[in-house]
Amino acid sequence: MKSSTKSQPRSSESQPRSSRSRARQSPPPDPARVKAILQELARLYPETGTALNYADPLQLTVATILSAQCTDQRVNLVTPALFARFPTAADFATAPVDEIEELIKSTGFFRNKAKNIKQCCDMIVKEYGGKVPRTLEELIRLPGVGRKTANVILGDAFGLPGITVDTHVGRLARRLGLTVHTDPVKVEQDLMTAIPRSEWTSFSHRLIFHGRQVCTARKPRCEQCTLAPRCPRVGVNNKVLATTPPKPKKTRVLHPSRKRSRRKNPRTDSL
């Protein structure tokens, strides 16, 4: 299944950061190739949507803040008790922060997350009447909510199309030749141009699934990947080589007698 990479564009992952940061444009990908990638991803992952459990936009916002540096499964273990104790944004906003901390401790970085959840809910109460706002611009103003979280909320809670660029989506978009950028905002813009709007949310989820299961960061399984015929695998060879440990240097060990014979003869030197 492997395809030649000789004629492929150079890896953005292999280039020095200074040259990567220079202004570049991603060449528009061939629409037929993009369509085939979308069809194959839909065949591979027919079910899409976040694995986080939630009942409303507020719960998804809190769960997504908790999911930073934590698995969705772990978040799903703590949220039932958390949402039962604090059913509304006002409940979170007025809660003692140590009470939130205690309930979310096992998700890691719990002090920071508790502070963000409390401040986020405080802003939702004071500026948005207790309801999670529905636009990207408003969502990214909330403490603890970046573009990634905002797009998850837009797509999953409100059904509004959004492209979530996390580490998997960024990496796969580059390998698939859909962007040359590493900056998540530029990757998002390239994908918004290349992918039909109606598919933005499902495409993000499917790329995340594929990144976790097949096209992993350290060792993409290209030989088993059904996207391979449509994938230029930009940067993959260099990436794999980069993870191969370097060969140890050969050091010559001299026999003690040879070491002695190499010393200068003081008598000869004085002549």
Residues that bind ligand SF4 (CB under 6 A): 172, 175-176, 214-215, 220-222, 225, 227-228, 231, 233, 236
| Residue with smaller CB distance to ligand SF4, 118 or 233 | 233
| 59's tokens | 């719960």
Report, in Å, the least distance between residue 190 CB and ligand SF4: 16
Q: Indicate the length of the chain as a whole number.
A: 271
Catalytic residue selected from 113, 148, 186, 239: 148
Q: CB–CB of 222/236 below 8 Å?
A: yes
Catalytic residue selected from 72, 91, 122, 166: 166
Report, in Å, the least distance between residue 203 CB and ligand SF4: 13
Q: CB–CB of 233/187 below 8 Å?
A: no
Q: Can you tell me the distance from the alpha carbon of 57 to that of 176, in angstroms, rounded to the nearest whole number?
A: 32
Report, in Å, the least distance between residue 176 CB and ligand SF4: 6
* Residue 148 bears catalytic tag: yes
| 215 Cβ contact list (under 8 Å, min separation 6) | 168, 171, 172, 175, 221, 222, 225, 227
| Residue with smaller CB distance to ligand SF4, 118 or 174 | 174
| Residue with smaller CB distance to ligand SF4, 138 or 199 | 199
| Residue with smaller CB distance to ligand SF4, 41 or 60 | 41
Report, in Å, the least distance between residue 89 CB and ligand SF4: 40
* Residue 219 bears catalytic tag: no
Q: Can you tell me the distance from the alpha carbon of 88 to that of 81, in angstroms, rounded to the nearest whole number?
A: 13
Phi-psi map region of 157: left, alpha, beta (phi>0 left; psi -120 to 50 alpha): alpha
Which residues are catalytically annotated?
148, 166
